[in-house]
């Protein structure tokens, strides 16, 4: 059915679709060489178990984009990988494998989409959210009562398949929306209000970062282990290619109030500043011996950043003191094993680290010299994302998953675990967390089975 009169928005959409189709056609020409290699499609269908709007999987043959890095860095011609895989896991002739397309540039959202239902209202709402003038809560006397936290069975959804590596609330009060990235390169968006999930696959390897900028929600950065940084642009309906590294990108961050630059954890210990206005890498420092797991800026002093690394340290740095390419750590916080996270508290006055040496470190005082060590079992093993203690809405509490399918609440004041959130509804271990800054008490835990559990206050 054709609408009699098209709105501006619909016209814009049609233009987008036409332009993106042309783009895809051009890309297909470039990918001739790689089309010789067949790959098995990884299973990516998200079963929205608890989401009311259950949808059938897409019927069209999806286009699978493979990791280019693995081929290039190993110097293996594309054909070989396919043969290699076949020899390891022989497949029956009846199982037809789709051709792969290597995307060298922007990827249209239509192509990346894996949920069957229309995403036009979702895309439209993203543009409507472009500006949020309200102020995040927290620190405003709106204190959290731990006892009031509960898990409603309606606040559970499977948004992606497999292991969630990254989860973020949208920084807005206008809608309750969560983005989650998994190890296959999917990004799932869950609109809690409409109870709808939109699934895309802009990447081909574990998602290492999702960055939703408060000043412009319609543009969302995503980073991936395959070295690619993309920018989802709802207006153009594409996942644009921003930057591509030869090395793995392990983390993604942005200082508060910054609009042009993003920071990437690159390779074994590198921190890269990407200037998106200039379209270039404007700085690069070798900060650690092994991979940087998190990058977190201080909200009070945006030039101060904390990094956590698998070299068993977390460090704070002053990015203003960037003579040449060497940077000296303001402070180094040592652990006995890999440090999985280092986050500044909401006020910026404290730092919390989580390490595989089974401790959580809390550092406070003017120079973070006041140290507290809290024992916490952090051996998640190979199949789960590692635990990362995450600050709540003030400097009082931290939230971290445990291996008994609970959420441990750490009091930074009492320096111990004061409570564990448990629910019969939580049937898997929550590994990664995010808080809704605009809603005190709204906490999301993400599992290695693709589910999100949203705890709320009252």
Give residues in contact with DNA (CB under 7 A): 43, 47, 67, 70, 89, 161-162, 183, 205-206, 225-226, 248, 291, 293, 310, 312, 337-338, 340, 356, 379-384, 386, 403, 405, 427-429, 447-451
- Would you call 29 helix, strand, or coil by DSSP? helix
Q: 294 or 437: whose CB is closer to DNA?
A: 294
Q: 16 or 204: whose CB is closer to DNA?
A: 204
Q: 167 or 304: whose CB is closer to DNA?
A: 167
In the complex, minimum distance from the CB of residue 38 to DNA, in angstroms, rounded to a whole number:
17
Q: 20 or 385: whose CB is closer to DNA?
A: 385
Give how far the C-alpha of residue 10 lies from the chain's centroid of Cα atoms, to the nearest Å. Answer: 30
Distance CA 393, CA 423 (A): 22
In the complex, minimum distance from the CB of residue 290 to DNA, in angstroms, rounded to a whole number:
7
In the complex, minimum distance from the CB of residue 183 to DNA, in angstroms, rounded to a whole number:
6
| Residue spans of beta strands (DSSP E) within 134-218 | 149-158, 164-169, 177-182, 187-191, 196-200, 207-212
**Is 124 in contact with 218 (CB distance < 8 Å)?**
no
Q: 223 or 448: whose CB is closer to DNA?
A: 448
DSSP characters for 276-300?
Answer: TTTTEEEEEEE--SS-EEEEEE-SS
The helix or strand, by DSSP H or E, that contains position 8, with its residue range, turns out to be helix 8-30
Distance CA 336, CA 244 (A): 33
**Is 227 in contact with 246 (CB distance < 8 Å)?**
yes
The helix or strand, by DSSP H or E, that contains position 232, with its residue range, turns out to be strand 228-233
Which residues, 6+ apart, have CB-to-CB distance to 231 below 8 Å?
A: 219, 220, 221, 222, 239, 240, 242, 276
Give how far the C-alpha of residue 169 lies from the chain's centroid of Cα atoms, to the nearest Å. Answer: 10
Distance CA 288, CA 251 (A): 14
Q: 319 or 403: whose CB is closer to DNA?
A: 403
In the complex, minimum distance from the CB of residue 184 to DNA, in angstroms, rounded to a whole number:
7
Q: 146 or 428: whose CB is closer to DNA?
A: 428
In the complex, minimum distance from the CB of residue 45 to DNA, in angstroms, rounded to a whole number:
8
In the complex, minimum distance from the CB of residue 385 to DNA, in angstroms, rounded to a whole number:
8
**N-term to C-term CA, the chain:** 46
In the complex, minimum distance from the CB of residue 399 to DNA, in angstroms, rounded to a whole number:
16
In the complex, minimum distance from the CB of residue 58 to DNA, in angstroms, rounded to a whole number:
16
Q: 175 or 403: whose CB is closer to DNA?
A: 403
In the complex, minimum distance from the CB of residue 381 to DNA, in angstroms, rounded to a whole number:
2
Distance CA 252, CA 238 (A): 20
Distance CA 246, CA 242 (A): 14
Distance CA 439, CA 60 (A): 39
Q: 57 or 128: whose CB is closer to DNA?
A: 57
């Amino acid at each position: 059915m054709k609408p009699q009169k098209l709105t501006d928005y619909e016209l814009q959409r049609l233009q987008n679709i036409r332009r993106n189709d042309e783009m895809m056609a051009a890309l297909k020409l470039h990918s001739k060489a790689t089309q010789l290699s067949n790959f098995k499609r990884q299973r990516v269908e998200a079963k929205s178990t608890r989401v009311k709007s259950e949808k059938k999987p897409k019927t069209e043959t999806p286009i699978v984009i493979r990791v280019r890095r693995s081929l290039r860095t190993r110097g293996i011609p594309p054909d070989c990988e396919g043969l290699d895989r076949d020899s390891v896991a022989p497949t029956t002739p009846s199982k037809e494998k789709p051709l792969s397309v290597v995307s060298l540039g922007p990827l249209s959202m239509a192509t990346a989409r894996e949920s069957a239902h229309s995403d036009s209202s979702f895309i439209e709402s993203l543009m409507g959210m472009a500006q949020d003038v309200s102020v995040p809560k927290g620190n405003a006397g709106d204190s959290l009562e731990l006892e009031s936290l509960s898990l409603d069975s309606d606040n559970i959804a499977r948004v992606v398949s497999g292991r969630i590596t990254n989860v973020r609330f949208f920084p807005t009060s206008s809608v309750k929306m969560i983005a989650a990235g998994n190890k296959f390169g999917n990004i799932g968006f869950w609109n809690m209000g409409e109870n709808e999930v939109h699934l895309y696959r802009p990447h081909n390897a574990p998602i290492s970062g999702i960055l939703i900028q408060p000043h412009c929600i319609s543009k969302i950065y995503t980073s991936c282990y395959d070295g690619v940084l993309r920018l989802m642009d709802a207006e153009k309906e594409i996942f644009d290619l921003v930057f591509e590294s030869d090395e793995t990108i392990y983390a993604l961050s942005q200082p508060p109030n910054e609009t042009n630059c993003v920071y990437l954890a690159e390779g074994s210990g590198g921190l890269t500043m990407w200037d998106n206005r200039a379209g270039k890498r404007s700085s690069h420092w070798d900060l650690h011996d092994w991979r940087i797991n998190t990058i977190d800026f201080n909200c009070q002093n945006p030039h101060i950043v904390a990094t956590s690394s698998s070299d068993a340290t977390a460090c704070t740095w002053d990015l203003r003191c960037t003579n040449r390419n060497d940077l000296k750590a303001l402070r180094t916080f040592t652990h006995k094993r890999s440090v999985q996270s280092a986050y500044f508290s909401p006020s910026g006055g404290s730092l919390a680290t989580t390490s595989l040496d089974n401790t959580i470190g809390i550092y406070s005082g003017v120079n973070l010299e006041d140290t507290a060590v809290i024992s916490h079992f952090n051996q998640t093993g190979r199949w789960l994302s590692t635990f990362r203690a995450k600050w709540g809405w003030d400097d009082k509490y931290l939230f971290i998953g445990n291996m008994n399918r609970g959420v441990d609440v750490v009091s930074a004041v009492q320096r111990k675990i004061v409570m564990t959130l448990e629910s019969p509804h939580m049937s898997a271990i929550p590994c990664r967390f995010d808080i809704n800054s605009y809603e005190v008490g709204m906490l999301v835990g993400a599992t290695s089975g693709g589910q999100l559990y949203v705890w709320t206050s009252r």
